[in-house]
Amino acid sequence: MNSDRIAFGDDGLTRVAVIFTRPDGIISSFSHAAERLLGVTAETVVGHLTPAAFHDPLELDARRRTIVAQVGTVIEDPFGVIVGLVSLGQMVEEEWTYIDGTGCRIPVRLFVSALPDKRGNIVGYCFVVKDRRGQLQAEALLQRQAKLLDLANDAILVRDLVSDTITYWNEGAVRLYGWTSGEALGAYIHEFLHTTFPCPLEEIKREFLQAGLWRGELVHRTRAGRTITVSSRWTLLRDSSGVPSGSLELNTDITEQKRTQEALTHAHEELEARVLERTAALREANERLRILSRRLMEIQESERRAIARDLHDEIGQALTAIKLNLREIRTVPGSEAVENQIVDSLEILGQVLQRVRSLALDLRPSLLDELGLGPALRWYVGRQAERAGWEALVSVEALTSRPSPEVEIACFRLTQEALTNVARHSQASKVEVRLERAHQELTLVIRDNGIGFDLEMVRAGARAGTSVGLSGMEERVQLAGGTVTITSAPAAGTEIRASFPLAAASESSREDLQ
């Protein structure tokens, strides 16, 4: 037989073989399990061989030397070495290596007992041979798994489900908590680690048994007295009968992560508070700016009205008086010598009076205060169209009540600024102005068929401070409570659409602007 080969069963099952021998060791009975285990038939061994035929010769020799050292007796017979320590009433249990019929080595646990007759004499021996291959494989697997668990950075431990005592404690647990495996095994886990649970322990246990797993955060205390927070994952372990027997727990230290998270949360909350403060301050500043801008426009309109009144009433009347005096001078005898100068002066005075009237109307047309927005728009658009040579279309829907003074002024000034831009830049031949009311909203639309412009480029200029026309229009409309949309593209004309919520005009607001 080749004693250098060793075999391990694939299924890992324990197989028990029974062999009976005579007193001299010759096999007298060889069970079917022995045949399967050793790969020989009973016919080939019964009455011919002793069990020593299946033993590793090197082990037999080593055992012989051990017996000599223990009892001082030299045993040459190999079978005698096997049963040398066996006596009546005393079974010997030892581990041996058997070699089967193919030369494969089989680790076994051997139980040998002497068989007595009625007078107490040994008439034979009983060999019970238990295959250890499955056991060794399982032990090797457990050792490999234990080594892998020890390599893990996380703390891995097993606790008994009934007593809550620790039954396994890996190297990761040693590193995390500071206690050795010998110190931790058998300890009541929750007192040992001073565990603080996120909710009552009984609730956690009930959920764990129902689901077979649990995940949460626990607070533990290490051997050094340091308090740590761990992310704990529990998995229910069952015995061979399927009955819950333990809990495999994986604990990851998240103390620094929690501290970082708390610091970030605090910083975020502080940042949000600051943003809210700055936002409130900015909102307050914007509100103050809006009020100041509105007041500035009110003052501007008031000044325009006053200047227009002075131009019309005082300067206009003074110029008219001068004109009348010049006409009177023409009737004085002897004035023929200065007739040409008087005529030139009268002509100049006529031009100055016309210019003064135009300035007064541009500053504040009396039609806007006396007749309202619709007539003022018709007059102004017609006047500008006549000057610029446009084809003008004005459509004003009849209003049952006048808008507020703020809305009237915003619409009129928006029209002024828009038509001024059309005259300067658009090269338009047609202009359309519509004023209409729908659903408690007043809408003013100004459209031309000019060359248009790049809206984004103009807005970029406004942000850079090189062009403020559009932003001025938008601000004026917004201060009156409205919204404005400007649509334009090169060679596609321009449309300005402003909408204002309608509200009954208050007498107080009208008085403020008059």
Q: pLDDT digit string (tens) for 270-312? A: 999 999 888 888 888 877 777 776 677 667 666 766 676 666 5
Residues facing residue 430 across a β-bridge: 391
pLDDT at 72 over 80: no
Residue 316, pLDDT > 70, answer: no
- 72 sits in the region (left: phi over 0; alpha: psi -120 to 50; else beta) called left
pLDDT at 250 over 70: yes
SS3 152: coil
23 pLDDT more than 70? yes
Contact 411, 498 (CB under 8 A): yes
pLDDT in tens, 268-279: 999 999 998 888
Three-state DSSP at 452 gives: coil
Q: Is the pLDDT of residue 507 over 50?
A: no
Confidence of residue 496 (pLDDT cuts 50, 70, 90): very high
pLDDT value for 19 = 93
**Terminus-to-terminus CA distance in the chain, angstroms?**
128
pTM attached to this predicted model = 0.43
Residues in the chain, overall count: 514
- Alpha carbons within 13 angstroms on the beta-carbon side of residue 187 total 16
Q: What is the mean pLDDT of residues 422-446?
A: 89
Torsion sign across C-alpha atoms 257, 258, 259, 264: positive
Higher pLDDT pick, 10 / 136: 136
Q: Is the pLDDT of residue 505 over 60?
A: no
Residue indicated by tokens 């808008």: 403
pLDDT value at residue 368: 75
pLDDT band at residue 364 under the 50/70/90 scheme: low
Which pLDDT belongs to residue 26?
93
pLDDT tens for each residue of 126-141: 999 998 887 777 667 7
Of 45-59, 142-156, 168-182, 400-414, give the lowest mean pLDDT range: 142-156
Helix axis angle for 255-310 and 405-421, nearest 10°, is: 90
Instruction: Read off the pLDDT of each residue in 55-73 and give the average, rounded to a whole number.
Output: 83
Report pLDDT digits (tens) over 75-133: 788 998 888 888 888 888 888 999 988 889 999 989 999 999 888 888 999 999 998 88
- Confidence (pLDDT) at 504: 41
Contacts 24+ apart (CB under 8 A), 239-247: 244/161, 244/209, 245/160, 245/161, 246/158, 246/159, 246/160, 246/161, 246/167, 247/158, 247/159, 247/161, 247/208
Tens digits of residue pLDDT in 216-246 = 999 999 999 999 999 999 999 888 788 888 8
Q: Which range has the top average pLDDT, 147-161, 332-346, 422-436?
A: 422-436
502 in Cβ contact with 466 (< 8 Å)? no
**Is 26 exposed, middle or buried (CB count within 10 Å of its CB: 0-12, 13-18, 19+)?**
middle
Segment 377-397 shows an average pLDDT of: 89
Contact 106, 133 (CB under 8 A): yes
